[in-house]
Amino acid sequence: MKNTFFIFLFFVFTGTFVSAGEILSLQESIDIGIKNNLLIKIDEARLRQVEMEKQEVYSYFFPRVSSSFTYTRLDEAQKMGFALPPELGIPPMSFKVTDANLYTLGFGLLQPLYTGGKIKSSYAKAEENIKRTIFEQNITAQDLVLEIKKGYFNILKAQKMLLAALSLKKTTEEHMRVAQASFNEGLVTKIDILKTEVFLVNTDKQILEAQNAIDLAKSAFSFLLNRPLSEDFEVKDILEEQKDTKALAYWTQLAYEQRPEIKRLESISKIYAHDINIEKSGLKPQISFFSNYELDRGSQGAIDEWQDSWNIGIAIGFDIWNKGETRYRVKKAENKKQEIDRQYELQVKSIELEIKNAYINLLFAQKEIETAKKTQEKAKENLRIANTLYKEGMATTTDVLDAQTDLTSAENDYYQALYNYQTAYGVLEKAAGKPINR
């Protein structure tokens, strides 16, 4: 009822019932943001790239078939000649060794049989790289969701500031009518009227400032959602005071299981482990099966017709001496893995601190709500008493205006505390790595 009354005041004091644009809930805003955000689209493109890399590595398990064709044109056919002794009376003789047109068509097959685990490790690395990319995508999404929540509640905060300013103007105008009646009866001086008029001017200023804050908050929110800045919209109010807080240990354990930053570093550590195996494969023999089939025409032995030939075999390669190059690459890969393992430990400690701070801030936000509610109740009673005493000539205009200001401030603080609590809960959820519903 209270919220409905404030909304009614908003339309009354703005003087018109403006046709509102789209009305967004928090979840709808999150869905739009994830769908439209350019950073997430970049992550999606990167994910498609690493998926193609996996398919590329998968092809290494299969035989590689190649083909080639060459054509060579000689200025003339190559010939071989010989001459018999002159006394025999036989003229010199010659015959073609090759034709002027040379054709060669070849097909080859190469199948790795043993690579020291290089292909297997490369494929496992590609699979892990996909997981890492997904975790990075989740990090981007979770950061975005938190910013959307902050932006959403910033709009609601600004709107409540406007409603509070409008409410203050209404009560001040009511006091003006009482003060004017008292002045007409000679019960108060002109100073009371002037003070109230100055106060009314200040409330108009507060209304303008609050409206400006709403416009700025909406622009920032539209940017987050990658929507046109010119599109009008409203957000649904959320006035929950309490959520299921749970113990700190619950949120910490949840982070160990779900936080994508932790999962990402675990994947990178596995990727570096595969890199070590890939480099170590250089210390092992490389065995392949090969086969070649060739068609030849125009060359020696196949001048006027196609002649084929084929071969099969096993190729074994082993790098006997490279001045320790492979071993240095192995050590380099091992050092990279050690580095990422240290980063993992640092990340875990950092997340533990982040969760604890978020949890403390949430408890503080809960207490702020309780304090603000009590202050609001006392401010209402104070204003009621001030108005009553003023009508009886036992209080001044300053007393009434101060009481009105105190109530406006208390009501505004109460709603700010509610939205701060919602934001603090969102920060804690992000710190614990709450999954994003897509």
Contact 51, 130 (CB under 8 A): yes
Neighbours of 169 (CB within 10 A): 21
Contact 117, 131 (CB under 8 A): no
The gap between the terminal CA atoms of the chain, to the nearest Å, is 34
Which residue stretches of 74-189 are H helix? 118-184
Please tell me the distance from the alpha carbon of residue 370 to that of residue 374, in angstroms, as a whole number.
Answer: 6
Contact 92, 83 (CB under 8 A): yes
Contact 363, 263 (CB under 8 A): no
What pLDDT was estimated at residue 324? 82
* 348 phi/psi in degrees, rounded to 5: -60, -45
* 313 phi/psi in degrees, rounded to 5: -175, 175
Coil, strand or helix: which one is 291?
A: strand
In order along its 438 residues, the chain shows pLDDT tens digits of 444 444 444 444 443 333 457 899 999 999 999 999 999 999 999 999 999 999 999 999 999 999 999 998 888 777 765 656 676 666 666 666 778 888 899 999 999 999 999 999 999 999 999 999 999 999 999 999 999 999 999 999 999 999 999 999 998 888 888 888 877 877 777 888 888 889 889 999 999 999 999 999 999 999 999 999 888 899 999 887 667 778 999 999 999 999 999 999 999 999 999 999 999 998 899 999 999 999 998 787 677 788 889 999 999 998 887 768 888 989 999 999 999 999 999 999 999 999 999 999 999 999 999 999 999 999 999 999 998 998 888 888 888 899 999 999 999 999 999 999 999 999 999 999 988 765
What pLDDT was estimated at residue 437? 66
Neighbours of 389 (CB within 10 A): 15
What pLDDT was estimated at residue 438? 57
Burial class (CB in 10 A: 0-12, 13-18, 19+), 51: middle
What pLDDT was estimated at residue 82? 62
What pLDDT was estimated at residue 403? 92
What pLDDT was estimated at residue 121? 95
What percent of the residues of the chain are helix, what percent strand, and what percent coil, each to the nearest 5?
A: 65, 15, 20
What pLDDT was estimated at residue 4? 41
What pLDDT was estimated at residue 80? 67
**Per-residue buried b or exposed e for 348-361, using 16+ beta carbons within 10 Å of the residue's own CB:** beebeebbeebbeb
Pull the structure tokens for residue 42: 């970049």
Q: What is the CA 408 to chain-centroid distance, rounded?
A: 39
Pull the structure tokens for residue 247: 């113990």
Sequence-ordered list of residues with C-beta below 8 angstroms from that of 63, at least 6 positions apart, any chain: 109, 110, 111
Coil, strand or helix: which one is 79?
A: strand
Contact 370, 413 (CB under 8 A): no
In 229-306, where do the E strands start and end? Answer: 233-235, 286-297
**Per-residue buried b or exposed e for 93-102, using 16+ beta carbons within 10 Å of the residue's own CB:** eeeeebbeeb
Coil, strand or helix: which one is 289?
A: strand
